Structure 1
Amino acid sequence: MTKATPFLMFEGNGEEAMTLYCGTIPDSRVLDIARYGSGEDGTEGTLKLARALVGGVEIRIYNSPVHHAFTFTPSFSFFVDCSSGQELERIVGVLSKDGGFLMPPGNYGFSQRFAWLNDRFGVSWQINLP
């Protein structure tokens, strides 16, 4: 079966990001984790590659041992539809901590409430109350 899966590459903090996402977004959990072993390029015992469900969508998380000249961009974002205003505020509050807003929470005319932000890892999230 062919399928496309979002692939997020971090430089050392992938497990921290995955833990935050799985603890914040409903219907999320870690599926499996592979860790760097002795003699590999990454620090032994740290997350190498993981699969997680985030809001029911499978993603892959990779910790690159190599520094890259690029990072995440808002042109790719996770779009999360919330079931209540309280859920939206909770998710926005957690994900925006030490991040930054592209569009702060508000009514922009296309939904009841919406926020677009970059979390502290640079991953972009659009949080929506339809």
Structure 2
Amino acid sequence: MGKVSTFLMFQGGQAEEAINFYTSLIRDSAISSISRYGKGESGDEGTVMKAMFSLKGQEFMCIDSNVSHQFNFTPSFSIYIDCDTEQEIRYLYENLAKDGQLLMPLDDYGFSQQFGWVQDRFGVSWQMDLPKE
């Protein structure tokens, strides 16, 4: 067996915009590779055939689906981030929530100092936690 990767499938040509957004928000993150559909290939020319990126060392793979699906991301699958400071959790929460959906407002729910859960504008869900010291 090779490695196991988290795979994100975007629709509407949003993959590159999403990974640029994510890697700009989270320190120590990078886009490793992007291959695009060319003219006459099975996807829209210039959209992402396959991209690899990492967020704080966690690797992800993504594509722009060339097939329209009746499904998208669901909040039951989310990316979970342990934050180091209140400033960091607020920054991530505010930026990821912009033009998205609030699932749990940033607050103290008793199990951590601060916790928030959002679905970003691309449909990907994020849980952010500032653990108790």
Structure 2 counterparts to residues 98-113 of structure 1, below 5 A: 98-113=99-114
The TM-score with structure 1 as length reference comes to: 0.96
Is structure 2 residue 8 aligned with structure 1 residue 8? Answer: yes
**Structure 1 unpaired stretches of 5+:** none
* Whole-Å separation in 2 of the counterparts to 1:16 and 1:77: 19
Residue 128 (structure 1) shift? 0.7
Alpha-carbon distance in 2 for matches of 1:43, 1:68: 15
Runs of 4+ more than 2 Å apart: none
Partner of 1:116: 117
Alignment of 1:1-130 (within 5 A): 2-11=2-11, 12-130=13-131
Provide the aligned length of Structure 1 versus Structure 2: 130
Q: Secondary structure at the match of 1:91?
A: helix
The percent identity for this pair of structures is: 50
2:96 aligned counterpart, secondary structure = helix
Which letter maps to 2:66?
A: P
Alpha-carbon distance in 2 for matches of 1:46, 1:75: 27
Mark the runs of 5 or more structure 2 residues left unpaired by the alignment. none
TM-score (norm 2): 0.94
What amino acid does structure 2 have at the position aligned with 1:118? Q
